[in-house]
Structure 1
Amino acid sequence: MQLVRRHSALFALVAAGLLWGLTVPLSKLALDWLPGGWLTVVRFAAAAPLLALVSRRDLRRAFTPKILFAGAVGYGAVVMLQNAGIHATSVSHAALIIGAVPALVALISAATGKGSAGKLAWFGFALALAGVGIVAGGGGGGATLGGDGLMLASSALSATFVVVQSQLLKGQNPIAMTAVQMFAGALAGIPNAIVEGVPAAPATLAPVAALLALIVAGTLLPFALFAWGQSKVKPQLAGAFLNLEPLVGAAAGALAFGDPFGPVQLLGGLVILSGIALSTAPPRKRPEPARVVSRHEGRTHRTRPVRSSAPRDASHLPHQEWPRRASYVSSSTPPHSH
């Protein structure tokens, strides 16, 4: 049963990582219509009620200050920074920096004592990160240092959120908790949206379609799947599947924005998958230490009587009473004779 739960959790995390890969290109299209603050508000405000309806019985328990604050930062602030970074840099650069999240999750988990990773897992993190670099190494038009910096800040906050989230999920319904945190994320984006002003009507239907796809495929499904999968595994294991996001994002960027994607990017994709496989493999159980066997162990010991408190000369006693006056203990020497 435990193995089935682990496989189900890993399947949910894989699906979340693949769906999140659509976030960067869909956000890039939607940002042609809505500014970053408005996109954050609309994205979460549309998805939260659907999850709340599914998990309505457990919503009240999930409304706690810690969960609301984590949602405001981990959903609202992270996505607003991400939107600003995506708007200012290329899709490929954004995908590359998002790929640093799993390694950051492992580092934060180890630094805070909330998790540990073996040498093989660390090698997997490094390998997957190298694969991300290969995939996005071709670059893309419109990349800026400021945009990359915003993406890095978003990735650091996202990694911190993944580590904290694993503690908040204990005893909670993951879907209800996700709904509450999306609600908090939408509220966090309102001040920024007010500053941006009311957006104009879209010039074409493309950004509207991208927004709808972002709400369903980039928000509703992956956030719920990831929260459920993360509730079953350690944070650094869940974070490893975020490496799928830049792989899908780079491929989508090549199709939608003309970013390069050829044999080099394909090689990088294989490296990413290899790194994920290494970092998510279950740790090997250490063999139990060999049992030290005493040189006396296994021998057939004979018994000898212990000297009793009776007088040494027991010849006056009847022969039948002798065993009653002596107790026997284990010994490797022959018994004494009376």
Structure 2
Amino acid sequence: MSKVLLAMVLLWLCWGSSFPAMRVMVQALPPLTASGAVFLTAGIVLVAVRPRAVLRLSPRRIAVSAGVGVCLLGAQGAIAVAMRHVFAGTAALLVAAVPLWIVALRALTGDRPDRAGVLRLLAGFAGVAIVLGGGDQGWSAWVLVVVAASVVWAAGTLWAARSGASAAVQLPAGGVVLLVAGYVTGEVATGTGTASWLAFWHLVLVDALAGFALFTWLLRSAPLSLVSTYSYAVPVVAYLIGVLVLGEPFSPVVLVGAAVIVVAVAYAHADMKPLHDEIPLRRAWQEGRRVYVRCSRDTRFFRQLHRLGAKWDEGRSALWVGSGKKDQTVELVLAMLEARTVMNEGRWADIPYDATDIHDHAVFDLRAVHDEKTGRYAMRTDEHLAEIIRLVRAWHDGGKSPE
């Protein structure tokens, strides 16, 4: 089994087990408090591993990210409360429709889907209705809480996409708000079951941290079309774990509804089209009237795309621009890929900060690539590297750089 396939299976298990684990956790632990503790713990670990992700944020972006976190994780807290009364498999299948709610909310804000998109949307919501009507729990109030939380989750995702919210702020902010909500509502534990505490740590270590690490690695190592399968594989895994491990009832009708939802979401992902023969689909693609690009934040390419009017889509972990700017975007992405190739070849040179003439010669004449994180310069050929090293030595010896 290849590393990518193994990572995909592990990701499905990590995130597919989250709903069953949540149902076990809330049987003894207070839902809001426990969920808040999970998110806060995961957020603290994320900030500790990537402190620069927070330190470089502006106050406005921190505030917006915190608001998005409250929206997204508040919805998950509501689902945790409902899961004392809702089967894990049912909740997972209903939450699987979040991408469809995002399309619906985008339509309300003017980004209307085409006719095929409308048909997929209607089919997906028909699947939601089948899941609601075909299970043993029916249209109960708690099931409707899960549906409402899914809509709020979709709204938070859409807000994150348009604001460039940071996950390093969302997790601790949402976790703190859920802890406060648990305190205000007077939540108390209903028992001291070992299983609930094991489920709690499973959500922290496996769902939040291991799942996030696997997802990040896959985004760098596999085609986006493959990685995106998690969005419709995870709910099926959750349903099966609920049936096989927790003993939840099996319903063929619910499986039919699940299949309809999964197919609708899968076809939505199938809309991704390549931008250019030399650009991997996992790096950039076109979807409808939008062009999506994945690149690291706090880089020159991110800023260049932002100047084109690009906005952040949290659900896709990518920047997007309108298809009218496709040619400019393709040019930037090709330049980004070329720069990464030069950097990976490892011909690095250190140029003193005050040696501005050498810097300009390297960048403008020799087309070196400047790594903003290390301050070093990646040279395109061995001859260029030898030339820059010679000039730097002459500069240190008191000589002059070329005009």
Q: Please classify the TM superposition score into its range, dividing by the shorter chain length.
A: 0.5 to 0.7
* Deviation sequence 1:132-165 (CA, Å, 0-9, x none): 6666765246x67221222122111101011111
The aligned residue for residue 162 of structure 1 is: 157
Cα deviation for residue 269 of structure 1 reads 5.4
Q: How many equivalent pairs are there?
A: 261
State whether structure 2 residue 71 is matched by structure 1 residue 73: yes
State whether structure 2 residue 33 is matched by structure 1 residue 44: no
The aligned residue for residue 304 of structure 1 is: none
Report which of the two structures shows the higher radius of gyration computed on alpha carbons. Answer: 1
The aligned residue for residue 167 of structure 2 is: 178
Letter in 2 for 1:72: V
Cα distance between partner residues in 2 of 1:91 and 1:201: 19
The aligned residue for residue 194 of structure 1 is: 183
State whether structure 2 residue 8 is matched by structure 1 residue 34: no
- Distance of aligned partners of 1:110 and 1:12 in 2 relative to their CA distance in 1, 3 Å threshold: farther
Match of 1:110 among 102, 107, 111: 107
Match of 2:263 among 266, 270, 274: 274
Cα distance between partner residues in 2 of 1:17 and 1:61: 33
Contact 1:23/1:249 (<8 A) preserved:
yes
Contact 2:21/2:200 (<8 A) preserved:
yes
Letter in 2 for 1:210: A
- Distance of aligned partners of 1:220 and 1:133 in 2 relative to their CA distance in 1, 3 Å threshold: farther
- Distance of aligned partners of 1:275 and 1:201 in 2 relative to their CA distance in 1, 3 Å threshold: closer
* Deviation sequence 1:49-82 (CA, Å, 0-9, x none): 221122111212346211111112221x112211
Structure number with greater CO (CA < 8 Å, separation at least 6) is: 1
Letter in 1 for 2:145: L
SS at match of 1:87: coil
Q: Percent identity?
A: 26
Cα distance between partner residues in 2 of 1:152 and 1:136: 10
> Normalized against structure 2, the TM-score is what?
0.54
Cα distance between partner residues in 1 of 2:8 and 2:109: 23
Cα distance between partner residues in 2 of 1:12 and 1:110: 35
The aligned residue for residue 86 of structure 2 is: 89
Letter in 1 for 2:135: G
State whether structure 2 residue 108 is matched by structure 1 residue 119: no
Cα distance between partner residues in 2 of 1:45 and 1:83: 15
Name the Cα RMSD after superposition.
3.8
Cα deviation for residue 280 of structure 1 reads 1.0
SS at match of 2:84: helix
Cα distance between partner residues in 1 of 2:230 and 2:102: 11
Letter in 2 for 1:54: V
The aligned residue for residue 53 of structure 1 is: 48
Cα deviation for residue 94 of structure 1 reads 2.1
Cα distance between partner residues in 1 of 2:151 and 2:112: 19
Where do 5+ consecutive residues of structure 1 fail to align? 1-7, 231-237, 287-338
Between 1:214-223 and 1:56-65, the stretch displaced more is 214-223
State whether structure 2 residue 245 is matched by structure 1 residue 256: yes
Cα deviation for residue 205 of structure 1 reads 1.8
The aligned residue for residue 150 of structure 1 is: 145
SS at match of 1:41: helix
> Normalized against structure 1, the TM-score is what?
0.63
Cα deviation for residue 182 of structure 1 reads 0.6
Cα distance between partner residues in 1 of 2:39 and 2:187: 18
State whether structure 2 residue 106 is matched by structure 1 residue 139: no
Where do 5+ consecutive residues of structure 2 fail to align? 220-226, 274-285, 289-403
